[in-house]
């Protein structure tokens, strides 16, 4: 969902009071959201540098950043306090349990190339570059290899079973860093801050005019 859509949903649920200035800011964040989500395939084909781990980390960083930005705007508090309040939300609970990774990995498993080995699409004429890439991959692998290969549609990348295991390991590592029952809250907040900082660095590099309401890099500099 776009940042403004998340905001309106919370307003409809009675969790937030509608504020025109906050909504205008989130509408500007929508532009960045659209660019990030619509350009994935273009990055893959033109630059060939898009990796699945980077993709999911960017997605998670964006989701966390937007949630904290909403809290900051609603409560009129500092970024530090907004992060502290974020730790008490359902979004953080899901994040700390690794659910974004689980959803992503489940989606990958659902796109196992083994499901396409008997598909008529395999040798069908097409002008679609994405389909051509998929056909090429399917036809160069054995049936056994197809059962162990997965397609990440957003990036156009193909992953092996070993790479999915690596994603699962990354998920476990992340949940350990966000476990409030075993860690000092300040350490967890530092991890959250790092996600937000990385998101601002990404925006500065790719979308320098994008609004960054948390102003983390500005405070660091």
Kindly state whether residue 30 falls inside one of the protein's structural domains: yes
Report the distance separating Cα 184 and Cα 174, nearest Å. Answer: 15
Q: Does any domain span residue 152?
A: no
Do 117 and 215 fall within a single domain?
Answer: no
Residues 31 and 70 in one domain: yes
Do 84 and 169 have their domain in common? Answer: yes
Residue 62 located in a structural domain:
yes
What number is the average pLDDT over the span 173-193?
A: 94
Which domain range does residue 125 map to?
113-146
Q: How confident is the model at residue 36, as a pLDDT?
A: 52
Tell me the per-residue pLDDT of 149-161, one tens digit each, with 9 for 90 and over.
998 877 778 899 9
Structural domain includes residue 15: yes
Domain boundary among the residues 89, 122, 146 is at: 146
Q: Are 150 and 37 in contact (CB under 8 A)?
A: no
- Last residue of one domain, picked from the residues 146, 169, 197: 146
Question: What is the spatial distance between Cα 200 and Cα 43, in angstroms, rounded to a whole number?
Answer: 19
Domain membership of residue 187 (yes or no) is yes
> How many structural domains compose the chain?
2
pTM for the model stands at 0.69
CB contact set of 140 (below 8 Å; sequence gap of 6+): none
Say which residue, 219 or 203, is predicted with more confidence.
203
pLDDT given at position 42: 35
In the predicted model, is pLDDT for residue 44 greater than 90?
A: no
Distance CA 55, CA 36 (A): 10
Q: Are residues 94 and 120 in the same domain?
A: no
The answer on pLDDT for 47 being more than 50 is no
Provide the pLDDT for residue 48: 31
Of 40-44, 176-180, 189-193, 212-216, the one with minimum mean pLDDT is 40-44
If asked whether residues 129 and 21 sit together in one domain, one would say no
Residues 96 and 135 in one domain: no
Position 191 confidence tier, pLDDT thresholds 50, 70, 90: very high
């Amino acid at each position: 969902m776009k940042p403004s859509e998340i905001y309106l949903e919370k307003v409809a649920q009675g969790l937030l009071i509608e504020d025109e200035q906050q909504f205008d800011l989130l509408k500007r964040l929508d532009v960045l959201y659209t660019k990030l989500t619509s350009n994935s395939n273009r990055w893959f084909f033109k630059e060939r540098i898009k990796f699945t781990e980077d993709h999911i980390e960017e997605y998670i960083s964006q989701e966390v950043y937007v949630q904290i930005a909403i809290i900051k705007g609603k409560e009129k508090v500092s970024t530090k306090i907004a992060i502290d309040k974020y730790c008490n939300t359902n979004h953080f609970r899901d994040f700390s349990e690794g659910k974004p990774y689980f959803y992503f990995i489940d989606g990958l498993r659902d796109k196992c190339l083994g499901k396409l080995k008997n598909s008529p699409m395999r040798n069908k004429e097409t002008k679609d570059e994405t389909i051509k890439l998929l056909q090429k991959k399917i036809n160069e692998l054995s049936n056994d290899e197809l059962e162990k290969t997965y397609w990440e549609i957003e990036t156009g990348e193909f992953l092996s079973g070993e790479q999915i295991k690596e994603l699962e390991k990354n998920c476990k590592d992340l949940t350990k860093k966000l476990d409030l029952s075993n860690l000092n809250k300040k350490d967890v907040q530092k991890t959250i801050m790092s996600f937000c900082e990385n998101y601002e660095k990404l925006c500065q590099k790719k979308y320098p005019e994008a609004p960054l309401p948390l102003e983390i890099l500005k405070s660091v500099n």
